[in-house]
Amino acid sequence: MLRRWLCLGLLLLGLGSLARGSWIFGKAALAQVLLRRAWAAARAGDEHARPWPWADTWPVARLLVPARGVDLVVLEGATGSSLAFGPGHIAGSASPNLPGNVALAGHRDTHFRFLQELQPGEPLWLEPAHGALQRYEVESTSIVDQRDTRLLAAPGDGLTLVTCYPFDAPVPGGPLRYVVRARLMSGGASPPLSSGALALAVRVQHTDRGQVEIGTQR
């Protein structure tokens, strides 16, 4: 009798735990799909295209690593509420369409899990909501304490991606961060299209300034 109750309790606990874990993954994936609509509005000139009416955030950029099938809508603010839905632009760092260091944070379990695979020299693309597509190249990776924000304020035009470290630590909330530094490359080449990796077809257009603009089409 006791064992039966124990079994039942254990089963419920297990299912609940499974549901919670799947929910975090599900929300992260689903949100990115839903954010496309807000992204389209943002590209059309809406400065604060809220993905849902009560959101405290809006899309500011799109991060592309076609070779790894990464295509993420980046939200304003790296708060707990925005990071659940996508990578967040760390307030205080340069805006994606402006010179300076652009810093983005993302969850190590979902959107920014791919950071652990990035190698120096690998290309990244950042498409600001207001501005032309920019090409970056991974320069270095490092592991720092969360209180060490010097990398966020690094001089020069760059892109800094931040996520929690270690990637497989069982308990969240550790003090370490994995930081990827990328350098802005002038005169960007068009991003290679990976087969089927991008949900949306990508239209590449060379502008008169030698920069590349991507438009999205269904």
* Residues in 113-152 that interact with other proteins by CB under 8 A: 144, 146-147, 149, 152
By CB under 8 A, tell whether 216 contacts other proteins: no
Residue 190 has a CB neighbour count (10 Å cut-off) of 16
Give the one residue of 63, 66, 72, 107 binding other proteins; rule: CB under 8 A: 107
Query: What residues does 213 pair with on adjacent strands?
Result: 205
By CB under 8 A, tell whether 164 contacts other proteins: yes
Q: Which is nearer to other proteins, 45 or 121 (CB)?
A: 45
Cα within 13 Å of Cα(4), Cβ side: 1
Distances in Å between the Cα of 161 and the Cα atoms of 84, 103, 130, 177, 203 are 16, 6, 20, 10, 26
CA distance 200 to 204: 12
Q: Site residues for other proteins, window 67-86 (CB under 8 A)?
A: 76-81, 83, 85
Give the one residue of 109, 122, 137, 213 binding other proteins; rule: CB under 8 A: 109
Q: Site residues for other proteins, window 17-46 (CB under 8 A)?
A: 17-22, 24-25, 27, 30-31, 34, 37-38, 41-42, 44-46
CA distance 199 to 218: 9
By CB under 8 A, tell whether 93 contacts other proteins: yes
